[in-house]
């Protein structure tokens, strides 16, 4: 019996030793990623290159561009400031690398969280922002999807704020280009953060994962990403001779291959715009003048600029008969405020939502409605807007509209 016990202990030790052996290191590349790419002119939205741009894949850390979009929105609205502090939850601290290794109960300033997301692509900082703005990451993901829909990202669904693997999280190269362009157009004050090459936090220096910064002429943003299922992703924006191009590559086989491919596509884009001398004297970039000034969220007129040209449609938008849009004669008055509550696939649906919002939100019960048709990848969308509102109504009403399950964007109409 004693010999049996000794033998049993010996076998258990062997099993423990086998378990203690280090596991084979996970490969840092995807052998067969689903490749797709797109290049657009950032000033017109014109598609300059398209290779499977509507193929469904995983966004990986390009997801964080939407997290940053909503963070910029909160900063622009005055809901938070750069010095505002977020508390780190246990959930946030448990996120996988890449991360800042934040600890539960720790306090982090918005500015540090923002730069941590932009440079190191910190997953824990992304969840801190999500929970700080929406109470939970699930609530934040719901906001991300509402915003994606309002921007015209028709093939994107977000499940978390970081881009960590989730089988239900999906996107396309076209949708990532739409989001990249929206960040550039809607929040120019904050877009410059994407140029940050290094970020110091707690005595540690974190280099930007976008290795094209400082190495490829004109590149000043915007975001990298990688998970095994997606391969190596990158959305990059560059300006040369006063013109700007955005290139998106999803599914690169390696980081170096992805960076090389994006560099090539930026050259393709600029060549098509007639910019061939990368070493010439820089010409200041002229940003497109917005028709609607950004207020509580992204301006809907700019939204149309983002979605319609990227659709790459050449057919002119047919004119609507006056009888088909009863409230078409309503004009948005310069200097007044308004809100947009969605963009829909049919005029009937747009009118139904307008009627429902009027019924559910008393502040909009007597507001004037304008339904605007816009070109889109799937043909036509109808934007539903309440116009000619006092500023205080437009700024406050969106929270009520969102609580009823609708999207909402506030704006000030200018000439």
Q: List active site positions.
A: 61, 64, 121
Classify 203 in phi/psi space as left (phi over 0), alpha (psi -120 to 50) or beta.
left
What does the alpha-carbon distance between residue 415 and residue 413 come to, in Å, rounded to a whole number? 7
How many Cα atoms are found within 13 Å in the side-chain-facing hemisphere of 305?
Answer: 22
Contact 98, 120 (CB under 8 A): yes
Task: Quote the tokens at residue 128.
Answer: 């801190």
CA angle 51, 231, 205 (to 5 degrees): 120
Asked whether the CA dihedral 75, 164, 38, 27 is positive or negative, the reply is positive
What does the alpha-carbon distance between residue 328 and residue 340 come to, in Å, rounded to a whole number? 15
- Tell me the DSSP string of 121-165: --HHHHHHHHHHHHSSHHHHHHHHHHHHHHHT-TT-B-SSSS---
């Amino acid at each position: 019996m004693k010999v049996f016990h000794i033998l049993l202990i010996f076998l258990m030790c062997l099993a423990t030793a086998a378990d203690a052996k280090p596991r084979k290191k996970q490969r840092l590349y995807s052998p067969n990623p689903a490749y797709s790419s797109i290049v657009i002119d950032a000033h017109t939205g014109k598609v300059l290159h398209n290779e499977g741009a509507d193929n469904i894949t995983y966004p990986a850390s390009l997801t964080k561009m939407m997290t940053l979009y909503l963070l910029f929105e909160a900063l622009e609205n005055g809901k938070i400031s750069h010095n505002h502090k977020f508390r780190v939850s246990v959930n946030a601290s448990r996120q996988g690398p890449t991360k800042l290794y934040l600890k539960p109960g720790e306090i982090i300033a918005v500015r540090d969280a923002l730069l941590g997301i932009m440079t190191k692509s910190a997953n824990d900082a992304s969840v801190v922002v999500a929970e700080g703005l929406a109470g939970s990451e699930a609530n934040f993901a719901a906001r991300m999807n509402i915003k994606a829909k309002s921007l015209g990202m028709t093939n994107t669904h977000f499940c978390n704020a970081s881009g960590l693997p989730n089988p239900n999280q999906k996107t396309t190269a076209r949708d990532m280009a739409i989001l990249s362009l929206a960040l550039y157009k809607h929040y120019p004050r904050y877009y410059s953060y994407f140029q940050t090459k290094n970020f110091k936090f707690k005595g540690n220096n974190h280099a930007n994962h976008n290795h094209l910064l400082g190495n490829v002429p004109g590149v000043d943003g915007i975001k990298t990403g990688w998970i095994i299922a997606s391969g190596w992703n990158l959305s990059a924006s560059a300006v040369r001779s006063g013109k700007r191009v955005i290139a998106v590559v999803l599914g690169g086989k390696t980081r170096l291959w992805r960076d090389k491919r994006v560099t090539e596509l930026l050259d393709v884009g600029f060549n098509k715009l007639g910019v061939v001398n990368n070493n010439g004297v820089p010409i200041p970039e002229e940003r497109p003048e917005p028709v609607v000034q950004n207020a509580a969220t992204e301006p809907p007129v700019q939204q149309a600029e983002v979605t319609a040209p990227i659709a790459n449609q050449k057919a002119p938008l047919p004119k609507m008969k006056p009888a088909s849009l009863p409230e078409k004669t309503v004009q948005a008055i310069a200097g007044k405020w308004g809100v947009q509550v969605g963009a829909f696939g049919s005029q009937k649906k747009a009118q139904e939502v307008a009627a429902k919002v009027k019924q559910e939100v008393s502040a909009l019960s007597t507001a004037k409605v304008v339904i605007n048709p816009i070109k889109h990848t799937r043909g036509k969308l109808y934007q539903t807007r309440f116009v000619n509102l006092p500023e205080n109504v437009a700024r406050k009403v969106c929270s009520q509209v969102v609580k009823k399950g609708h999207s909402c964007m506030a704006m000030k109409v200018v000439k």
